[in-house]
Amino acid sequence: MEQSVTVHLEKSVSSVQFLEQLPDGDFMQIEDLELHKQQLEQLCLNLQEVVNRLNNSYKKIFIEHKEQIAKLSVEIARKILAQKQDQGQYQIESIIQEALKQAPSLENVTIYLNPDDLANLEKTQQPGSGSISEQLNLVADADIGPAECRIVTPKGVIESVIEKHLERIEEALKKA
């Protein structure tokens, strides 16, 4: 709401200052307000620069440690899997079925397994149940590690090797 004020002076005016009333009732010269405004704007710019530097530092630290985090994660997984392998806590049939998903066809397929895995698989398979051991050619191979297999098809070889899986996981973690 604008108000007009008429002032009658009996003496001459030597200078005029415009004041702005502050919320607490005090008055401040408009020039001082402009100065404070400029100082606050500069402070905001400085603060934004600090925030940008912190964000850049965070990103840099995260990127530098990303590779170490990926390696540590895979190393932990490697130790857990080694323990599970040593204790025989894995399903070789599930591992074979997962690897077979990559095979173009199941005709003329030979699956190479660790001799212990093959013996355990044959023990658990019921005759006439249509199990993997009845449908496919399974061969013991001492060069195959526990919980791993190699599938040979007329079109190529599929390997399910724990170390190769871990390497792919590590690369994916580094890229994520």
Cα–Cα distances in angstroms (integers) from residue 163 to residues 23, 34, 77, 151, 168, in the given order: 71, 68, 11, 17, 9
Same domain for 164 and 95?
Answer: yes
Same domain, 55 and 33: yes
Q: Are residues 74 and 95 in the same domain?
A: no
166 in a structural domain: yes
Assess contact for 173 and 73: CB atoms under 8 A.
yes
Position 41 pLDDT exceeds 60: yes
Both 75 and 146 in one domain: the answer is no
Residue 113 class from Cβ within 10 Å (0-12 exposed, 13-18 middle, 19+ buried)? buried
Is residue 13 in a domain?
no
Instruction: Please count the structural domains in the chain.
Output: 2
- 77, 100: one domain: no
For residue 31, what are its two tokens? 């020039």
pLDDT tens-digit series, residues 74-117: 999 999 999 999 999 999 999 999 999 999 888 899 999 999 99
Same domain (yes/no): 63, 127? no
Report if residue 12 sits inside a domain: no
* Domain containing residue 105: CATH number: 3.30.2320.30
> Which domain range does residue 45 map to?
27-83
pLDDT (mean) for 23-52:
79
Residues 67 and 127 in one domain: no
Prediction pTM value: 0.61
- Does residue 77 sit within a domain? yes
Q: pLDDT tens across 133-165, in order?
A: 677 899 999 999 999 999 999 999 999 999 999
Name the residue type at position 157: V
Lowest mean pLDDT among 4-8, 17-21, 59-63, 91-95: 17-21
Do 98 and 118 share a domain, yes or no?
yes
The pLDDT value recorded for residue 77 is 95
Do 71 and 38 belong to one domain? yes
